[in-house]
Structures are given as structure tokens and as C-alpha cells.
Amino acid sequence: MRSGSTLTGEIFGQHPDVFYVFEPMHTLKWEWWSKRTRLSFFDQPPREVTSEADFAKTAKDIADGFLRCHPTKIDIATLSQHHLGKSKDTIPYKMCLKSKPGVMKMLDCLPILQKQCLDSKVSVIKTIRFPMEAVETMMKSNPSLKVIHLVRDPRPTIKSQISFGRDTWSNLDSYSKEHCLRVQKDLQVTKRLMKSHPDKTKLLLYEDLVVHPSRNAQDLFSFVGLAYTRETERFVQSKTNGSVDEHCVLCTQRLNSSRSALQWRKELDFNRARVIDANCKAVYQMLGYLPVNTATELKDLSKSLKIEKNL
């Protein structure tokens, strides 16, 4: 969350050959957090999700259902979630649900979702809730699967998450430890996949995307086998060098995305930055992020806090 995944997903979502699904694991994560762990399906018995392994398996099944155009394999709560109204490709299905309320009438709407998927060249899901270990498992059963692992500097990510209400500054030490341990674990899997499946695994740093948006967007499209069109280039430019700067926490359009991406350095307290630095050393070493030594260094935007480094 707050890593630039919505912008990255939108770049794919605007393409006419793409079936794009926004945050399909959202409901599963909330069910997990709230301990409501019994999921219902149309074509299988109810399932209990009581462990991390259960969560990963269910997340994989949800991803498979959307990517392979089998919506009946997806749990009913996920098929009902409001995030399906966030993509042009799933809005027609969501509108059908509104006109035909009730679980059983959902079956009348699922063919709409399936057709949108089947008619597309590439299916894309954007998610912040999917463990990379589950991706590794999926690759064994889905030879056409490709993954783009997006990562951002932990300092702006954590600052933005806390500002959004995910946790409190008083809990920064434990929160940043947990965050970076999770990122580190995912990166270790990605490093392994980049060796075993180099043509199917890509690591993307948010900072690279916003500094060189066109170059990186073209690279992403080449990676998944999509044509980079003039319309896509216009979309990328409108989002990263637009005429309007959207001032809201979840907005993605920026007058200057590279400048906006550095705004956190002016706003983050130095002592808080140092706490994150101390807890995220392993991630910094893997990706090339640099700790800060003084408050002046933190605020000095002429000094980069990133060196080039391959995972």
C-alpha cells in the first residue's frame, strides 16, 4: 500500500487488449484481519482460512480465477466487493450486480465478467496483498504467468501508510520492522524467480518509474507482450506530467511525478526516518536505498538517497 501500485496498474488498465482487475484480494485480507475466515463458493464446499498458508492458497485461487477467466472458482465475498467498480473492465459486471441483487442472481452476471476476460489478450491483476511465495507456486501450474514486483523506498511508503491511518507513529519501530521483514522476504523469492524464470519475473522500483515514466512503461509493455501505443503514451504523460495535480491521498495524477515522489523528504521527521533506516537495512542493501545521517541531508533534494544496484 502506497507504493505506486495504483498508477502502475492504471497504465495497464487503459490498454484495450487488457482485462484489468483492481485489488481482487481486498476482501480476503479484511476477512482475515477481522477473523471472519469462512468463505463460500458456487462450485465447491465452504473453506476455512485459519493460517498464513490458507490465506496464500486462497489468494492464489482468486488470482487464478481472474487470470484464467474462471469466476466461479472465486469466493462469493470477493465477487461482491466494491473494488470491482474500480476498473473499466469489471464495471459492467458490477453494474449487473446492482440491477440483480442477491447471491443467486450473481450467477446471471458472472458471464459478463468471464466474457470481458476471454475477449482480452492479457489479463492483469493489481494487488498489494499477494505473497511472492504464492506467485512462485502459481508459476509451476501456469506457464504463461508473468509477475511485476513493484517496490518503493520504505520511508515514503511507511509515512504514507501511517498518514492514511494504517498505524500510528507511536508504533513506528515495530511497524517498520514488520513492513521491511515482509518486503525482504518477498524480495528473496523474487531474486530466486529472476534466476529460475528471468523472462517471467521483473522487479520495478517506483522511483525509476516516476523519473522515467515513458521508458519504464514501454519496458513493462514489452515484458508482457503488449503494443505500446500513442494512446498509452498520452495516458502515461497525463498521469506523470499532467495539467492538474490531484490533491488527495489516493489520487494518481501529478504535474510532475518525479518531484512529487520526493515530497516525503521535506515532510518526514528526521528521527522517524532514522528509525525506519535502522529497521530496513537489509532492504536498503538489496535495493540500493541510502540511510540519512542528518536532517539537512534528508531535506536536501539534490542528494539522491538511492544508488544503482541489481537485486
Task: Give mean pLDDT, residues 281-310.
Answer: 95
- Global pTM? 0.90
Q: Judge if 183 and 237 occupy the same domain.
A: yes
- pLDDT band, residue 205 (cuts 50/70/90): very high
- pLDDT band, residue 113 (cuts 50/70/90): very high
Q: Give a yes or no: residue 128 inside a domain.
A: no
Q: Judge if 270 and 193 occupy the same domain.
A: yes
Q: Give a yes or no: residue 10 inside a domain.
A: yes
DSSP string, the chain: --SSHHHHHHHHHTSTTEEEEE-TTHHHHHHHHTT--EE--SSS--EE--SHHHHHHHHHHHHHHHHTT-GGGS-HHHHH-GGGGSSTTTHHHHHHHHHS-STTTHHHHHHHHHHHHHT-SEEEEE-SS--HHHHHHHHHH-TT--EEEEE--HHHHHHHHHHTTSS-GGGHHHHHHHHHHHHHHHHHHHHHHHHH-TTTEEEEEHHHHHHSHHHHHHHHHHHHT----HHHHHHHHHHHS-S----STT----S-HHHHTTTHHHHS-HHHHHHHHHH-HHHHHHHTB---SSHHHHH-TTS-SB-----
Q: Judge if 94 and 191 occupy the same domain.
A: no
Q: Judge if 264 and 291 occupy the same domain.
A: yes
Q: Judge if 171 and 273 occupy the same domain.
A: yes
Q: Judge if 11 and 158 occupy the same domain.
A: yes
- pLDDT band, residue 243 (cuts 50/70/90): low
Mean pLDDT comparison of 247-251, 276-280, 302-306, highest-scoring range: 276-280
CATH number at 271 reads 3.40.50
The whole-number pLDDT of residue 52 equals 85
Q: Give a yes or no: residue 133 inside a domain.
A: no
Q: Judge if 74 and 173 occupy the same domain.
A: no
Q: Judge if 92 and 151 occupy the same domain.
A: no
Instruction: Report whether pLDDT(249) > 80.
Output: no
Task: Give mean pLDDT, residues 109-127.
Answer: 97
Q: Judge if 168 and 293 occupy the same domain.
A: yes
Per residue in 30-63, pLDDT (tens digit) is 887 777 678 999 989 999 888 888 888 899 999 9
Q: Give a yes or no: residue 201 inside a domain.
A: yes
The whole-number pLDDT of residue 260 equals 79
Q: Give a yes or no: residue 275 inside a domain.
A: yes
Domain, as residue range, for 22: 18-120
Of 85, 120, 155, which residue constitutes the final position of a domain? 120
Q: Judge if 1 and 28 occupy the same domain.
A: no
Q: Give a yes or no: residue 237 inside a domain.
A: yes
Q: Give a yes or no: residue 125 inside a domain.
A: no
**Percentage of residues of the chain with pLDDT beyond 70:** 95
Q: Judge if 79 and 181 occupy the same domain.
A: no
Q: Judge if 163 and 232 occupy the same domain.
A: yes
Of 86, 120, 154, which residue constitutes the final position of a domain? 120
Domain count, the chain: 2
Q: Give a yes or no: residue 130 inside a domain.
A: no
